[in-house]
Homo-oligomer: A and B are copies of this chain.
Amino acid sequence: MSKLFADRAAGLSGSAIRATFKLLADPEIISFAGGAPSPDLFPREELEEIAARIFRDKCNLALQYGITEGYAPLADFVKARLVSQGVIRAGESVIITTGGQQVIDLTARALVNEGDVVVAERPSFVGGLNCFRSYNADLRDVPVENDGLSTDALEEMLKTTKIKLVYTIPTFQNPSGITMSLAKRKRLLELAEKHDFYILEDNPYGELRYRGEDVATIKSMDETGRVIYAGSFSKILSPGLRLGFASARADILEKLVVIKQITDVHTPTLNQLLAYEFVTNYDLDAHVRRSRELYGHKCAVMLGEMDRRFPEYCEYTRPEGGIFLWCTLPDRFDSKELFNRGVEKKVAFVPGDSCMVDMNKKYSSFRLNFSNTADDKIAEGIKILAGVIEEAAAQ
């Protein structure tokens, strides 16, 4: 018998995460492990009204095949919004994707050969890491500091290593909540130009700032087409609709389209019409403001409880936006062991190793999500978690 699976697929396994999800199906568990937006923000009545109108007036369009680039009016809206935000210039194009994850996948598939060096942040988003793993990239990492990924560490790596792609979530990073400084963004771009690598700027949380000042996207400063920009409707409208978008240099974007065509032909038409009718008939900015307020409030609730309950040796980020924060304990702690203790006590989070290129070491850090948990449950969960940490410390 020859080998069943292709080399790129042989090592892929979702079993750890899937086992975790099974644990989390227990309704008594307070889960800070997910990354789901609050359903309180779903525009139920608006979408009900829009759906009725679409099935009445545009049914044949909504249910028929569409073009791979996406429903043109929605792509035009996204383009105009990105232009108004300064992310892209007027002449640049946008394609609509089946969620933001698809942009990562299409980019990896278009650019990354087996063995090519892809640099991710330490820590980074598990869905991004697994995607690059699936193409047998030579996956490396550079640490995330308080002002974003270490460009010094990247420069050091560049002395000996040819890099193909840097994968970054510069704004309200998943999982750390950290935002990269403007200076580092500029430095990263300079390095990309000097050393001929590309940057995938994944920005699903960028609109969710609840304090501080916006920092220019890396894409907005890109003069030479080094940046592939990924955006998403998941955190500002609905993740279940699976709507994302990408912008990049014309030749790269064209390649993403050609690959998307053989992947899923096109993003579901109905979903694109729903989003388009929502943004044209209702006030997306007002909707985003409500999201910011809610998540800012929830973040403050969680941080307040952590300040009150967590032992002093716990360090954690204080994000200015997004839906995650990152907690680091002294080295002697093992986040996986804490996770197991937590689940026993009915509280869950994402242990650090899931967010790492090297998953086989012990990590004393973990990710907490606050976007989809009621305030009293945040308080209760943090109290339990503080107890779990103290219990682990005592042993």
Contacts and interface: CB of A to CB of B under 8 A. Distances in A.
Interface string A29-66: 00000111101001011011001100110011111111
Interface in A94-119: 98-99, 101-102, 104-105, 109-113, 116
Nearest to A234: B65
> Chain A interface mostly helix, strand, loop or mixed?
helix
A209 interface: no
Given A48-B56, A63-B39, A240-B270, A101 B262 contact: yes
Contacts of A7: 113
A9 B105 contact: no
Nearest to A133: B262
Q: How many copies does the complex hold?
A: 2
Contact of A271 (B113, B162, B251, B271): B271
Nearest to A197: B2
- Most chain B CB inside 10 Å of its own CB: which residue of A101, A104, A251, A270: A270
Question: Which one of A98, A162, A164 has the highest number of Cβ atoms from chain B below 10 Å of its Cβ?
Answer: A98
Contacts of A4: 111, 251-252
A64 B48 contact: no
Interface in A125-173: 127, 130-131, 134-135, 162, 164
- Among A8, A52, A162, A164, the most chain B Cβ lie within 10 Å of the Cβ of A8
Nearest to A66: B240
Interface stretch (A85-93, A178-186, A253-261, A335-343): A253-261
B127 A262 contact: yes
Contacts of A67: 21
A265 B62 contact: no
Contact of A55 (B51, B241, B268): B51
Contacts of A64: 36-37, 39, 42, 238-240
Contacts of A1: 196
A395 interface: no
B59 A262 contact: no
Contact of A127 (B12, B63, B261): B261
A269 B13 CA distance: 23
Nearest to A105: B263
Contacts of A68: 14
A8 B99 CA distance: 23
Nearest to A46: B55
A264 interface: yes
Interface string A1-35: 11011111100111000000100000000000011
Contacts of A98: 98, 242, 264, 268
Contacts of A36: 64-65
A267 interface: yes
A266 interface: yes
Interface of A: 1-2, 4-9, 12-14, 21, 34-37, 39, 42, 44-45, 47-48, 51-52, 55-56, 59-68, 98-99, 101-102, 104-105, 109-113, 116, 127, 130-131, 134-135, 162, 164, 196, 238-242, 251-252, 254-255, 257-259, 261-271, 274
18 contacts: A1-B196, A6-B135, A7-B113, A12-B262, A14-B68, A14-B254, A39-B63, A64-B240, A66-B240, A102-B263, A131-B263, A134-B259, A240-B268, A242-B266, A268-B271, A270-B270, A270-B271, A270-B274
Given A36-B65, A109-B134, 9 more contacts: A5-B110, A9-B110, A37-B64, A39-B63, A42-B64, A51-B55, A105-B264, A127-B265, A240-B270
